[in-house]
Amino acid sequence: GAVVSQHPSWVICKSGTSVKIECRSLDFQATTMFWYRQFPKQSLMLMATSNEGSKATYEQGVEKDKFLINHASLTLSTLTVTSAHPEDSSFYICSASTGKGYNEQFFGPGTRLTVL
């Protein structure tokens, strides 16, 4: 149980285009979903927290207009990187939780984004 999937697992796009990444909780309903970014040899950085049906809460320094998050249902959250640039290339990981805190997070396998 407690499986979280992400799609796509990797994506390559041209600079200036937008990319959508999906995060799904497959066998449970996720009250809260989190989005992280991980650069090579660095740790995960929390980007935003989203609760179903409400606006996402972004961490300081994360551009909300660039990283659009939609948590449309209890099993699906999407992250859209708008007008992507090479510096947005990273490993994006989502997690899902049945609670409102950071405990009991189940992580997805991640999405590798490369912007050319």
Binding site for another protein (CB under 8 A): 4, 36, 41-46, 59, 93, 95, 101-110, 112
Write down the least CB distance from residue 102 to another protein, Å.
5
Distance CA 29, CA 45 (A): 24
Write down the least CB distance from residue 19 to another protein, Å.
18
- The residue among 67 and 106 lying less far from another protein, judged by its C-beta, is 106
- The residue among 71 and 97 lying less far from another protein, judged by its C-beta, is 97
Residue 9 in tokens: 């697992």
- The residue among 16 and 102 lying less far from another protein, judged by its C-beta, is 102
Write down the least CB distance from residue 108 to another protein, Å.
5
Residue 39 in tokens: 């650069």
- The separation between CA 47 and the C-alpha centre of its own chain, rounded to angstroms, equals 8
Residue 107 in tokens: 């992580």
Distance CA 94, CA 47 (A): 10
